Amino acid sequence: MRLERRLEHPRWLLVAVPLGSIAFAFLLMAVVLLATGHNPGATYRRMFDAAFFANGALTSTLVFATPIVFTGLAAAAAFRMQLYNIGGEGQFYWGAIAAVGIALYLGDQGVGSTPVYVLAMSVAGALAGAAWAAIPAVLRAFARTNEIITSLMLNYIAGLVLTYLIIDSHSYWRDTESFEGQTFPLGKAIPDEAKWPSGTLDAFGGIVVPLGFGIAAAVAAVIWAVYSRTRFGYELQVIGDSQRTARFAGMRLRRKILAVMCISGAVAGLGGASFEGDFAYQIDPTGLQASFYGYTGIVVAALARYSPLAVVPVGFFIGGLLNAGFTLQGADFPAGLVGVMQGLILFCALGGEVLVRYRFRLGRGVRRAPDTPSVEAAS
Amino acid sequence: MTSQLLASGINESFLVVILASAVLYGTPLLFAALGELLAERSGVLNLGVEGMMLVGAVMGFWAVQRLDVASGASLALAIGVAAIAGAAMALIHAFLVITLRANQIVSGLALTIFAGALGLSAYLGNDLNLSGFPADHAFTPIDVFGLGDVPVLGPIVFDQSALVYLSWACVLAVGVYLARTRPGLNVRAVGESPAAADAMGINVTVYRYAHTLVGGALAGIGGACFSLQLTPQWVAGLTGGAGWIAVALVIFAFWRADLCLVGAYLFGAFSALPLTLQARGWLTGVPSEVFTSLPYVMTIVVLVAVSSSAAKRRLGAPAALGIPYVREER
């Protein structure tokens, strides 16, 4: 059996391969479940029930989907240009810290208008995320330091900052007044006016759609437009495909690296702001660090093949899995299952990529001279 | 150097404790970095080290708890099991990137997500019911040659566990293998120019598979250092980013085994420092997070220092690192 490079990429394959990858991943997971003495059929039925079909399941799936659509967009925006920003996790934390900080401050000033809070929290979160992403960006652009490792190390540091703010100090973010706050380290809750509004879709049995999900969808559309409809986006694609070509064409590599990393960080930080405004309302260091929204974003982006528009439905699907893992956690639902599932889906998507780029041919060697490819097919 | 410091009045035992624990905490990093070094020398970048370490840690711990044999045999078996578990994880990566030519960076990240703190290692730890129990057997220091009481050198060199001695043997083996043997030369050829190696009759695929798998096995052993010596118990995610530091270490070490040892102990010292300071009650005014973040901050600092000069001279990085080899497309 040999692999042969495809000269054309049929469009249907671009949809069929990710779907096939997911199906194949579920098949593999069934083998793992069987091998460890679980019933795959029953486990899957409960999983999909909890994720999509049970009463109120879609509402809670959106709670998990919203942050990972943001972090997925952050990863997709950077990975497309071969900039591997895996610091989405830390940028998300900083977005949360800044958004809660500004909301608490505005609350102390007596601001009562929700739109002001939403705007201030979004801007603060995006700026904080961008600033945190600027560290690996500057190091990559000016010292050629590998951004994978620096952005990852910064995740651990951001996690320690969270712990410090709530558990190890009496910072502005910590609740030191309420009874619970004095007995147990807790984050200070943002004022009620700062909680982001949500819409209810009556059509599907009353799904509550958080404002953050709408913002995420809008951000996806903007990133798509910028990447595929502007000169900036065109230059990014050239840089992603061949840095050398880009340099010869006079494109400014450093500026683009800085811009893309900061955009990526800003989107992740906005995700942190939305997480606080929509759902959490206070900094919970343990919860934030245990949910791995940043890393999950990488899975989402890779499965969406780094297309911003595809990130939204993929994020919704993976959000469903996270929701199921959270709802069903307990004695009879295996822990770690959701992580294993995500890894398998990602492996299958990577393996499926080979089907897009190559075709399998049975037999050894080339029996006859291949047809001379036409000029358009080759280009 | 040490004696000068002693003469200048620095507390002797403090320095010795730091150095001895630098070796202790550096050992898992050393194993993992040596494994990554071998894989990278053959041209395969594996960012799944953290995941492979965690699966090695959980399976090594399982072996110690569940295989009913004497202490020494149990620990030896556990190391074997951890190595096999790590290699099994590496096999997934090898298949995807060598046979299916997938993107090595994304595949390595996928491996860390698959096997990591929320994935397979947590699944296994939970399913095999391993959390919350101390290890039945753990690696303890062995006083070889009865020299453990020698001042300064005794605790640092002669009073360490079998794992530490094994790691030294590995450094020597990897160093000699790469520099002085025919297969070692072939690996370097595969990593530098797979097309030339292929033309010489070296089987690029076999070499890349073999070194990726051995790299996974060493990462698995590195993980077992945590669950069988440092902690010693199973806690989900107990490596805390050590796998990533190991990936960075290979870069600091300019892809050389002996420098991996130096780098690993340097980072071992950064990891041990907060605990040692805490135990002595020193610098209590400084938030503990400052010390805990030290290994991560130092990784960034050293990486920046190395990469700016490396960019000029392209120190040591295998030329074909991260690039799939396709005979028909060279």
The stretch A5-10 carries a mean pLDDT of 77
Tell me: the pLDDT tens digits for B98-123? 998 888 988 998 999 899 888 899 98
Most confident of A36-45, B208-217, B230-239, B295-304: B208-217
What pLDDT is stored for residue A193 in this prediction? 92
Q: How far is CA B264 from CA A88, B206, B301, in A?
A: 27, 29, 15
CA–CA gap between residue A265 and residue A256 (Å, rounded): 14
**H/E element, A290:** helix A285-291
Q: With contacts defined as CB-CB under 8 Å, which chain B residues touch A152? A: 241, 244
B95 pLDDT above the threshold of 60: yes
Between helices A88-108 and A253-275, what is the axis angle to 10°? Answer: 60
Residue B294: half-sphere exposure toward Cβ, Cα within 13 Å: 17
Q: Under 8 Å CB-to-CB from B205, ≥6 apart: which residues?
A: B98, B99, B325
Nearest residue on chain A to B120, alpha-carbon basis = A340
8 A C-beta contact, residue A308 and residue A160: no
Chain B from 199 to 228: CB within 8 A of any A CB: none
Chain-chain contact of A346 with B106 (C-beta, under 8 angstroms): yes
What pLDDT is stored for residue A364 in this prediction? 57
8 A C-beta contact, residue B55 and residue B216: no
Strand-pairing partners, residue A194, are none
DSSP B116: S
pLDDT band at B288 (very low <50, low <70, confident <90, very high): confident
Class of residue A367 by CB neighbours under 10 A (exposed 0-12, middle 13-18, buried 19+) = exposed
The stretch B245-259 carries a mean pLDDT of 90
Three-state DSSP at B319 gives: coil
Tell me: the pLDDT tens digits for B25-68? 999 999 999 999 999 999 999 999 999 999 999 999 999 998 87
Mutate to test the interface with A, among B62, B96, B300 (most CBs of A within 10 A): B300
CA distance B147 to chain A (A): 39
Q: Where are the beta strands (DSSP E) in chain B?
A: 142-143, 159-160
Closest by Cβ to B106, choosing from A340, A342, A350: A350
Chain-chain contact of B114 with A347 (C-beta, under 8 angstroms): yes
B241 phi and psi angles, rounded to 5 deg: 90, 5
Q: Under 8 Å CB-to-CB from A107, ≥6 apart: which residues?
A: A190, A191, A193, A194
Nearest residue on chain B to A339, alpha-carbon basis = B119
What pLDDT is stored for residue A67 in this prediction? 97
What pLDDT is stored for residue A128 in this prediction? 98
Point out the least confidently predicted range of A372-376, B180-184, B326-330: A372-376
Three-state DSSP at A210 gives: strand
Mean of per-residue pLDDT scores for chain A: 88
What is the third-level CATH fold of A64-310? ABC transporter involved in vitamin B12 uptake, BtuC (1.10.3470)
Mutate to test the interface with A, among B112, B205, B289 (most CBs of A within 10 A): B289
B84 pLDDT above the threshold of 70: yes
Closest by Cβ to A5, choosing from B102, B299, B329: B329
8 A C-beta contact, residue B204 and residue B325: yes
Among the listed residues A170, A209, A212, A211, the one whose alpha carbon sits nearest the alpha carbon of residue A187: A170
Nearest residue on chain A to B121, alpha-carbon basis = A336
What pLDDT is stored for residue B310 in this prediction? 58
**B113 close to A (CB below 8 A):** yes
Q: Tokens 């799944």 — which residue? A: B48
pLDDT band at A151 (very low <50, low <70, confident <90, very high): very high
Q: How many residues does chain A have?
A: 379
Three-state DSSP at B147 gives: coil
What pLDDT is stored for residue A16 in this prediction? 84
**H/E element, A238:** helix A231-241
- Both tokens of residue A254? 């450093």
What pLDDT is stored for residue B175 in this prediction? 95
CA distance A329 to chain B (A): 12
Tell me: the pLDDT tens digits for B179-197? 999 999 999 999 999 999 9
pLDDT band at B7 (very low <50, low <70, confident <90, very high): very low
Residue B83: half-sphere exposure toward Cβ, Cα within 13 Å: 13
**H/E element, B274:** helix B257-280
Q: How far is CA A158 from CA A152, B108, B240, B290, in A?
A: 10, 23, 14, 12
pLDDT band at B8 (very low <50, low <70, confident <90, very high): very low
Chain B from 269 to 328: CB within 8 A of any A CB: 287-289, 292-293, 296-297, 299-300, 303-304, 307-308, 310-311, 326, 328
Q: How many residues does chain B have?
A: 330
8 A C-beta contact, residue A155 and residue A144: no
**B239 close to A (CB below 8 A):** no
CA–CA gap between residue B1 and residue A49 (Å, rounded): 66
CA–CA gap between residue B50 and residue A209 (Å, rounded): 36
Chain-chain contact of B121 with A338 (C-beta, under 8 angstroms): no
- Both tokens of residue B130? 């391993």
- Both tokens of residue A276? 């606080």
Mean of per-residue pLDDT scores for chain B: 87
What pLDDT is stored for residue B3 in this prediction? 43
8 A C-beta contact, residue A84 and residue A78: yes
A200 phi and psi angles, rounded to 5 deg: -115, 125
Q: Under 8 Å CB-to-CB from A367, ≥6 apart: which residues?
A: none
Chain-chain contact of B304 with A160 (C-beta, under 8 angstroms): no
Point out the least confidently predicted range of A330-339, B131-140, B260-269, B305-314: B305-314
Mutate to test the interface with B, among A39, A241, A340, A348 (most CBs of B within 10 A): A340
Q: Tally Cβ neighbours within 10 Å of residue A253.
A: 13
Which one has a higher pLDDT value, B286 or B218? B218
CA distance A334 to chain B (A): 6
Chain-chain contact of B296 with A156 (C-beta, under 8 angstroms): yes
Tell me: the pLDDT tens digits for A299-311? 899 889 899 999 9
Nearest residue on chain A to B109, alpha-carbon basis = A298
What pLDDT is stored for residue B4 in this prediction? 43
Chain-chain contact of B110 with A339 (C-beta, under 8 angstroms): no
ipTM score of complex: 0.86
What pLDDT is stored for residue B173 in this prediction? 97
Between helices A293-303 and A253-275, what is the axis angle to 10°? Answer: 120
Mutate to test the interface with B, among A241, A254, A347 (most CBs of B within 10 A): A347
Q: Where are the beta strands (DSSP E) in B116-158?
A: 142-143
A358 phi and psi angles, rounded to 5 deg: -130, 160
8 A C-beta contact, residue A219 and residue A267: yes
8 A C-beta contact, residue A68 and residue A318: yes
Chain-chain contact of A339 with B116 (C-beta, under 8 angstroms): yes
Nearest residue on chain A to B251, alpha-carbon basis = A146
8 A C-beta contact, residue B142 and residue B162: yes
Strand-pairing partners, residue B245, are none
Percent share of chain A, pLDDT over 70:
94
Q: How far is CA B100 from CA A346, B44, B96, B195, B208, in A?
A: 14, 13, 5, 18, 13
8 A C-beta contact, residue B102 and residue A346: no
**H/E element, A256:** helix A253-275
Q: Tokens 């690993």 — which residue? A: B264
Strand-pair category, A198-201 with A207-210: antiparallel
Nearest residue on chain B to A83, alpha-carbon basis = B105
Inter-chain CB pairs, A–B, below 8 Å: 151
CA distance A116 to chain B (A): 34
CA–CA gap between residue B198 and residue B300 (Å, rounded): 37
Most confident of A55-59, A291-295, B7-11, B188-192: B188-192
CA–CA gap between residue A170 and residue B125 (Å, rounded): 36
Chain-chain contact of A157 with B244 (C-beta, under 8 angstroms): no
Q: Is B43 left (phi over 0), alpha (psi -120 to 50) or beta?
A: left
Tell me: the pLDDT tens digits for A86-125? 999 999 999 999 999 999 999 999 888 999 999 999 999 9
A287 phi and psi angles, rounded to 5 deg: -60, -45
Chain-chain contact of A343 with B102 (C-beta, under 8 angstroms): no
Strand-pairing partners, residue A5, are A358
8 A C-beta contact, residue A18 and residue A305: yes
Which one has a higher pLDDT value, B181 or B127? B181
Chain B from 128 to 147: CB within 8 A of any A CB: none
Tell me: the pLDDT tens digits for B138-153? 888 877 766 666 776 7
Point out the least confidently predicted range of A270-274, A368-372, B253-257, B259-263: A368-372
Single-letter amino acid, residue A46: R
Closest by Cβ to A144, choosing from B107, B123, B311: B311
Measured distance between the N- and C-terminal CA atoms of chain A, rounded to whole angstroms: 26
- Both tokens of residue A325? 């893992």
**B13 close to A (CB below 8 A):** no
